[in-house]
Structures are given as structure tokens and as C-alpha cells.
Amino acid sequence: MDEPLKRVMDAIDVETFFVCSNEESGRSLMLALLRGWGFKDVDIVFARFEGPGVRVRGRAYVHRPADKYGWLKPEGE
């Protein structure tokens, strides 16, 4: 079976709740998490401070428009 990331068309979203003191801390934690997983092109698409922390959704771009898409390559390449 192919590596799953080679089949991703555009991006992967990750959402979680970080226990932290403010929204900026939650944003920083999400960016650090995604970069720690090896993604270089990352962004925050949603963040909201709620009581003990921040609900945050991060996006890790696997492909941008006009990239070389893994699923278009012939088998064995």
C-alpha cells in the first residue's frame, strides 16, 4: 500500500484543546506540534479561548495548487 501522505490531495487539519493561558499560546502550541511532526507549511484556521484553554485547528499543507502531486505519478515512481 502507498504511503498515506502521498494520497492527500491538499492538507491535513488537526483540531484539539490546549490547556493554556491565552489564545496566542494555543496558536503557538499548535504550530509547534505540526512542525514537530515534520510539516513545514502550516497555518492556524481557527482558535477560540474557552475557560481553561484554547480550542484550535491547525492545517498542515501537503500540497498547494500546482505542486507535484504524489497520486499522479505512475506506479513505482
Percent of the chain at pLDDT above 90?
69
Asked if residues 59 and 12 have their Cβ atoms less than 8 Å apart, the reply is yes
The predicted-structure confidence for 6-42, as pLDDT tens digits, reads as follows 888 899 999 999 999 999 999 999 999 999 999 999 9
Summarize the chain as % helix, strand, coil (round to 5).
Answer: 25, 35, 40
pLDDT band at 76 (very low <50, low <70, confident <90, very high): low
- At the top level of CATH, which class does the domain 4-72 belong to? alpha beta
Three-state secondary structure call for residue 59: strand
- Domain ranges within the chain, ordered by starting residue: 4-72
